[in-house]
Amino acid sequence: MEELLAQVTAKAEKWLGNSFDEKTRSEVKALMDKEDKSDLIDAFYKDLEFGTGGLRGVMGAGTNRMNIYTVGMATQGLANYLNRVFGSLKQISVVVGHDNRNNGRLFAETVADIFSANGIKVYLFDDLRPTPEVSFAIRYLKCQSGVNVTASHNPREYNGYKAYWDDGAQVLAPHDTAIIDEVSKVKVEDIRFKGNPALIEIIGESVDQAYLDAVQTVCINPALVKRNADLGIVYTPLHGCGRVIIPRSLAQWGFTNVNCVQEQMVPDGNFPTVVSPNPEYPEALTMALDLARRLNADVVMASDPDADRLGVACRNSKGDWVLLNGNQTSMIFLYYIITQYSILGKMTGKEFVVKTIVTTEVISRIAEKNNLEMFDCYTGFKWIAKVIADEMVKGKKYIGGGEESFGFLAEDFVRDKDAVSACSLMAEIAAWGKENGKTLFDILLDAYMEYGFSQESAISVVKPGKSGADEIRQMMEQFRANPPKSLAGLPVVLVKDFKLMKQTDGKGVVSALSMPEPSNVLQYFTSEGDKVSIRPSGTEPKIKFYFEAKGVMASPDSFDDSKTKALHKIELIRKDLGV
């Protein structure tokens, strides 16, 4: 401990030098003066890692914090790499945006200044904008890269930095590791903070409208929307940037009865009306559900702060409002898209869908039964974007892809999950249901009856700080070295280890896994088709467990019973794993 404290103190003392502003120096000095050194250690025990998706961390002074210096080093490294790779271009350009988080505008303007100081033209959004619009703008403006300053759905103390390449997707090989190497070389004194205003162009409405026009092309059945224009919609952006564009998108599609939660239409990085701005949590939709009950609405939708994730609530068979999980919303999207494409004669035989390996296997069954090609990829939409890019050049047609963490993409002009198009398309699906006397929940039950029932659940074990990171590593090593022989009394018939790129069946036969690269993920499958996935988060100090329990649903009326039995099975699996 004394050795670690000495190392941390030495790093912190460098932040008292003239390369740092007075506010930062004062904050570091306060950390050093505290008797309890835990905050100092957490702020300096490591450098905030520029990973394949960029940066994410708690805001504050320190090498392990989000501040203008860690953001600056990341941007200087990215600028150096862009100038090296695209040096033959007359003018390299990038898009820069931000969401509603505290320091969002400061960080975005800092990023813009650094890029411009390095001779790179910057298209800087005039105010907060959704992550998917930044992805769209990169391709629309023919840029080579882009950055959105956002920590997505993380708690209020976080901010982050998502880096994109010229295809509008988050950076992948070979550029990802090359950028990381470039960033690692940068010292604070190397950062060119003094911007060139002549290379910074403020953008806004013209890109907004181009994006909205593109999103409108996602509408499958405009006549259906027109007939059900008065669908009762309640929407909340949870204080985030969905407020800028989602109500406009719904209106442009033709929906006239959109009711926003006004208290949460106010952009605020402190998220004063929610404990966490995450639409995966029922609590986040409390105010929206209250409004829906007062208005007798048909559907409730919420987007996270950077408007790439969509949460949906609807009435169940008893008339109670329930929050759908991300697996269920992905199922509903694909069920509707495939049904409508078939009715309208749009199926050509070249369509494909994508899901992540931790997302429900019911989607595999949907694809199989409809003779669609389906691709499994790693968690994170950058992998879905890679499949889209790889397969579309072969002449195939992408019709949808989703992940369990409330992300869905229904188009190819954005290369990240998109709550704007997802929200608009989900409203169309709700209108389809209403016209046929059904709620979204009824549509979900129809999908279960046709393709089979499963129940999903997930838990995250949070382990903050250096000791937590060490504990997470030990947990993964233990699970890897000692995979379970049975779960919930059922034999484990398949173990997949994506770090070692191999799978082992119940007879001990080992074969290779075909994935783009290794990843620290483990999966166990039982004889009944249940699935457990274990992975450390790439952006947060936690290890995540994903459970999927297969079950039998004899009729729509037996949903509750099937769910209860499946959740009981998941509880038994959790006990077997000790989590």
| Whether residues 315 and 192 fall in one domain | no
Domain boundary among 406, 427, 451: 451
Q: What CATH number does the domain containing 262 carry?
A: 3.40.120.10
Contact by Cβ (8 Å): 522, 534: yes
> For residues 378 and 384, what is the distance between their CA atoms, to the nearest angstrom?
8
> For residues 525 and 507, what is the distance between their CA atoms, to the nearest angstrom?
13
* Residues whose CB falls within 8 Å of the CB of residue 480, separated by 6 or more in sequence, listed in order: 497, 499, 500, 522
| Whether residues 264 and 385 fall in one domain | yes
| Whether residues 170 and 258 fall in one domain | no
Considering the candidates 93, 116, 145, 152, report the single residue annotated as catalytic. 152
Domain boundary among 411, 434, 451: 451
Examine the pLDDT at 268 and tell me if it is beyond 90: yes
Residue 465 is predicted with a pLDDT of: 74
Q: Residue 210 corresponds to which tokens in the numbers above?
A: 């181009």
> For residues 509 and 503, what is the distance between their CA atoms, to the nearest angstrom?
8
Residue 173 is predicted with a pLDDT of: 84
152 as an active site residue: the answer is yes
Q: Among 49-58, 226-235, 332-341, 394-403, where is mean pLDDT lowest?
A: 49-58
> For residues 259 and 220, what is the distance between their CA atoms, to the nearest angstrom?
23
Q: What CATH number does the domain containing 532 carry?
A: 3.30.310
| Whether residues 285 and 400 fall in one domain | yes
Residue 52 is predicted with a pLDDT of: 66
> For residues 338 and 346, what is the distance between their CA atoms, to the nearest angstrom?
9
| Whether residues 140 and 249 fall in one domain | no
| Whether residues 91 and 19 fall in one domain | no
- Region 433-450: what's the mean pLDDT? 97
Q: Which residue, among 256, 142, 144, has the nearest Cα to 207 in the 3D structure?
A: 142
- Largest Cα–Cα distance of the chain, in whole Å? 71
Examine the pLDDT at 418 and tell me if it is beyond 90: yes
| Whether residues 333 and 440 fall in one domain | yes
Per-residue H/E/C for 197-232: HHHEEEECHHHHHHHHHHHHCCCCCHHHHHHCCCCC
- Region 34-51: what's the mean pLDDT? 91
Which residue segment(s) compose the domain that 549 sits in?
454-577
| Whether residues 401 and 497 fall in one domain | no
Q: pTM for this one?
A: 0.94
- Region 198-203: what's the mean pLDDT? 98
Domain boundary among 146, 172, 203: 203
> For residues 156 and 100, what is the distance between their CA atoms, to the nearest angstrom?
10
pLDDT tens readout for residues 496-506: 999 999 999 99
Percent of the chain with pLDDT over 70: 99
Residue 577 is predicted with a pLDDT of: 96
- Region 234-247: what's the mean pLDDT? 97
Total structural domains within the chain: 4
Bridge partner list, 138: none
| Whether residues 304 and 400 fall in one domain | yes
| Whether residues 12 and 97 fall in one domain | no
Omega before 174 within 30 of 0, i.e. cis: yes
| Whether residues 434 and 474 fall in one domain | no
| Whether residues 221 and 260 fall in one domain | yes
